[in-house]
């Protein structure tokens, strides 16, 4: 523990997933005093009821990020509970079935944009409405697929590219209010998000990462950095954490 988030409060989406749970563990280890852990189903968050020193307030809430009103309500709850919300991490994400464009169903396109892009917009908007008076940090989880073209994943790539650009626009709009908005662009690490990939696909993806596939813990350092005061003069940035994937 290095206390880089000492006294901070945070709301994290997709907290039951591989990266989400690593983020929560890192935030608690770095001294956060309050963390609202959210995901689609509250029962998937029970792992966090015992985590961290007893002085830390960890609350679990169900949140579908496609519901903008529900997102704002929880952000307000966190703000009132802790007399200030400092950090929102928009981590929830989902991938559509693997398909070339002629085979993509409109529902899969729409759903992928709703979860990954509109869900992040809801988190950014909640931050601008709830956190603006005292400033803070929003960290969006995009993907290196926002910056490099991935075949068979058009809706996901487009949604994540949208997250990068939303991050830039929002950063510019709210810099004067000391609300910083950044994103991370991870390369691939094993998680539930890859469960629908055909056999061997992850091996092919791994071969394109000079440092090999990552682990969620390889990405959380960048998120802690962007959430903390260490990055206080950084906003609108897309921090690539991809094991060298985007180098060639």
Ligand X SMILES: NC(=O)c1ccc[n+]([C@@H]2O[C@H](COP(=O)([O-])OP(=O)(O)OC[C@H]3O[C@@H](n4cnc5c(N)ncnc54)[C@H](O)[C@@H]3O)[C@@H](O)[C@H]2O)c1
Question: 9 in helix, strand or coil?
Answer: strand
Is 18 a residue that touches ligand X (CB under 6 A)?
A: yes
Stretch that binds ligand X, among 2-10, 63-71, 72-80, 96-104 (CB under 6 A): 63-71
Alpha-carbon distances, residue 221 vs 1, 26, 236 (angstroms): 12, 8, 18
Shortest Cβ 119–ligand X spacing (Å): 6
User: Where would I find the beta strands (DSSP E) of 87-187?
Assistant: 87-90, 136-141, 179-186
The answer to whether the CB of 133 falls within 8 A of the CB of 116 is no
Nearest residue to 183 via CA among 131, 247, 227: 227
The yes or no reply on residue 155 touching ligand X (CB under 6 A) is no
Position 96 contacts ligand X (CB under 6 A): no
According to the binding rule CB under 6 A, does residue 192 interact with ligand X? Answer: yes
Distance (Å, whole) CA 18 – CA 192: 7
Q: How far is the C-alpha of 227 from the C-alpha of 127, rounded, in Å? A: 13
CB of 5 to ligand X, least distance (A): 19
Q: Is 156 a known active-site residue?
A: yes
Q: Which helix (H) or strand (E) holds 160?
A: helix 154-174
Residue whose beta carbon is closest to ligand X: 17
- Applying CB under 6 A, does 91 fall inside the site for ligand X? yes
Query: Which position among 11, 12, 20, 138 is part of the footprint of ligand X (CB under 6 A)?
Result: 20
Our finding on whether 73 is near ligand X (CB under 6 A) is: no
Q: Is 139 in the site for ligand X (CB under 6 A)?
A: no
The site for ligand X (CB under 6 A) is made up of 13-14, 16-20, 39-40, 63-66, 91-94, 115, 119, 141, 143, 186, 188-189, 191-193
The residues that are catalytic are 156
């Amino acid at each position: 523990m290095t206390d880089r988030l000492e006294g901070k409060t945070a709301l994290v989406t997709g907290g039951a997933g591989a990266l989400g749970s690593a983020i929560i563990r890192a935030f608690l280890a770095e001294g956060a005093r309050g963390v609202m852990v959210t995901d689609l189903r509250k029962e998937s968050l029970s792992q966090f009821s015992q985590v961290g020193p007893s002085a830390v307030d960890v609350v679990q809430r169900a949140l579908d990020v496609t519901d903008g009103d529900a997102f704002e309500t929880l952000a307000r709850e966190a703000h009132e509970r802790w007399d200030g919300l400092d950090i929102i991490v928009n981590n929830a994400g989902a991938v559509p079935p693997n398909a070339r464009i002629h085979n993509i169903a409109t529902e899969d396109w729409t759903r992928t944009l709703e979860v990954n892009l509109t869900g992040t917009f809801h988190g950014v908007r909640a931050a601008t409405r709830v956190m603006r008076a005292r400033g803070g940090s929003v960290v969006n989880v995009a993907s290196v697929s926002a910056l490099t073209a991935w075949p068979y994943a058009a809706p996901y790539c487009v949604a994540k590219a949208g997250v990068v650009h939303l991050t830039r626009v929002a950063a510019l709009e709210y810099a004067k209010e000391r609300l910083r908005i950044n994103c991370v662009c991870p390369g691939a690490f094993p998680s539930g998000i890859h469960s629908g990939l055909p056999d061997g696909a992850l091996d092919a993806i791994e071969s394109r990462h000079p440092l090999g596939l990552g682990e969620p813990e390889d990405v959380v350092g960048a998120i802690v950095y962007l959430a903390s005061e260490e990055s206080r003069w950084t906003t609108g940035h897309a921090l690539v954490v991809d094991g060298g994937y985007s180098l060639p």
